[in-house]
Amino acid sequence: MTGPIQEPGGGQARGDWNTAPTVLEMRDVHAAYHGDILILNGLSMAIKEGQVTGIIGPNGAGKSTALKTMYGFLTPSRGTIVLGGEDITGSPPYDMMGHGVAFVPQNRSLFNDLSVEDNLRLGCWPFRRDKRKVEAALDRVYTQFPILKEKWRDMAGSLSGGQQRFVELGRALVVKPKIIMLDEPTAMIAPRISREIYDFIGTLPEQGITVVLVDQNVRQCTNVSDYIYILDLGRNRGEGTTERFTHDDHLKEMVAEWLDYQID
């Protein structure tokens, strides 16, 4: 069970997508693996402050590649990545944390043979010498995810899939990021825990954290997001506010046809 949210960053109200400032942007981005396996084909996307931006699309659409490219794991061959108004195209991923951007990748990223707490402490690396700050950060995680306090000594690999996700989320949040990118946070997770994770994601904007959410689960993604991008073959295929997704027949048809999912 996730616990009460401490330090809510002033309990900020969720603003309106149309008026919220853009904090991260991909502009006409082309990106390839190994130089020639072109995956992103002119992708443009705006991430807005204090909003949850959902990215959906069929398997292999390039959703994870889009996140990896925004984070600097892939360098665009064309186009630009703009963070807080600054062109950061080509910046390495290890700079992103300093820019206030955290990333929880699709594949499991814990050190299985380290304890829960040691995994969390690794997230505190940028301020590891400030012991008080490290303890405060750990306390915040334990308050948000009380089960991790019980399991702090256990090897991360011994936890359930959902509990491991909590550790990954906690580890990403210890640096108090301004933006968090989440790739399929509930894939292969039991439904009850998935609901907790979505509820938790829904509270991040109140804590002043902008969310980018890649998800296969169209229903949950549209429930928690303010704005949705549909990707296929590394291109934009549709976009709109969640409100539009639930009313616009054309978008609904597109989702039904492409993702084999009926939005009602």
Ligand X SMILES: Nc1ncnc2c1ncn2[C@@H]1O[C@H](COP(=O)(O)OP(=O)(O)OP(=O)(O)O)[C@@H](O)[C@H]1O
**Sites of contact with ligand X (CB under 6 A):** 33, 37, 39, 57, 59-65, 106, 216
- State yes or no: residue 64 binds Mg ion (CB under 5 A): yes
What is the identity of the amino acid at 37?
Answer: I
Question: Which of ligand X, Mg ion, none has residue 62 at its interface (CB below 5 to 8 Å by kind)?
Answer: ligand X
CB of 187 to ligand X, least distance (A): 8
Stretch that binds Mg ion, among 18-26, 55-63, 82-90, 168-176 (CB under 5 A): 55-63
H-helix segments, the chain:
63-71, 93-96, 116-123, 131-144, 146-150, 161-173, 191-203, 218-224, 242-247, 249-259
13 — alpha (psi -120 to 50), left (phi > 0) or beta?
beta
CB of 63 to ligand X, least distance (A): 3
Q: Residue 39 binds what, of Mg ion, ligand X, none (CB under 5 to 8 Å, by partner type)?
A: ligand X
Closest to ligand X by CB, 93 vs 100, is: 93
- Return the one option of ligand X, Mg ion, none that residue 165 interacts with (CB less than 5 to 8 A, by type): none
Among the residue ranges 48-56, 64-72, 127-135, 224-232, the one whose residues contact Mg ion (CB under 5 A): 64-72
CB of 126 to ligand X, least distance (A): 27
**Closer by beta carbon to ligand X, 68 or else 151:** 68
Which tokens is 64 given?
Answer: 């994870």
Q: Which residue number, 64 or 207, has a Cβ lying nearer to ligand X?
A: 64
If one asks whether residue 144 binds Mg ion (CB under 5 A), the answer comes out as no
- Which of 148/214 has CB closer to Mg ion? 214
For Mg ion, the binding residues in 72-111 under the rule CB under 5 A are 106
Q: How far apart are CA 74 and CA 186, in angstroms?
A: 24
Quick one: which of 236, 211, 248 has its CA closest to 226? 211
Size of the site for Mg ion (CB under 5 A): 3
- In 3-state terms, what secondary structure has residue 188? coil
Whole-Å CA distances, 161 to 109, 110, 180, 202, 210: 12, 11, 20, 20, 25
164 binds Mg ion (CB under 5 A): no
Rounded least distance, CB 40 to ligand X, Å = 8
What is the nearest approach in angstroms of Mg ion to the Cβ of residue 53? 16
Long-range CB contacts (within 8 A, 24+) of 32-38: 32/74, 32/77, 33/65, 33/74, 38/77, 38/234
Contact partner, 65, from ligand X, Mg ion, none, Cβ < 5-8 Å per class: ligand X
Q: H helices then E strands: how many in the chain? A: 10, 10
* DSSP, residue by residue, 198-241: HHHHHHTGGGT-EEEEE-S-HHHHHHH-SEEEEEETTEEEEEEE
Q: Which residues would be at the binding site for Mg ion (CB under 5 A)?
A: 63-64, 106
